Amino acid sequence: MEENNITVHVQNPDGTLTALDAPVDMGLSLMEYLKACEYDILATCGGMALCATCCVDVLEGQDKLNEMSDDEYAMLDTLPDVLPNSRLACQLQLNAAMDGLVVKLHHAE
């Protein structure tokens, strides 16, 4: 792994994990990176925390993430099936501390 990259694991609907080599030096959010990897994320609002279509459930590494903003909390609060570990991927800027993060798309069942 290059020093400018981290590994992010995405849990697939069948429970298996896919390891992704994510760059931390490009200013990408987790949402932007997952879309670039062709995951099924609508990102209708373009990353403004206004639609919750990029919601992910953080399975491991929640303590590595930035604190939730009021806007993110308010948007998540509108979801009927939000979990305590749900976050908006658009609000998670990729950084070195997130190495080893494990997420699954909230709507993927």
Alpha carbon 108 to its chain centroid, in Å, reads: 13
> What contacts 24+ positions apart, CB below 8 Å, involve 41-48?
41/89, 41/105, 43/90, 45/90, 47/90, 48/90
- Give me the architecture of the 5-105 domain, per CATH: Roll (3.10)
Per-residue pLDDT reduced to its tens digit, 5-61 = 999 999 999 999 999 999 999 999 999 999 999 999 999 999 999 999 999 999 999
Sheet holding 5-11, edge to edge: 17-23, 5-11, 102-105, 55-60, 86-88
pLDDT at residue 92 greater than cutoff 90: yes
Phi, psi of 90, rounded to the nearest 5 degrees: -70, -20
- Residue ranges covered by each domain of the chain: 5-105
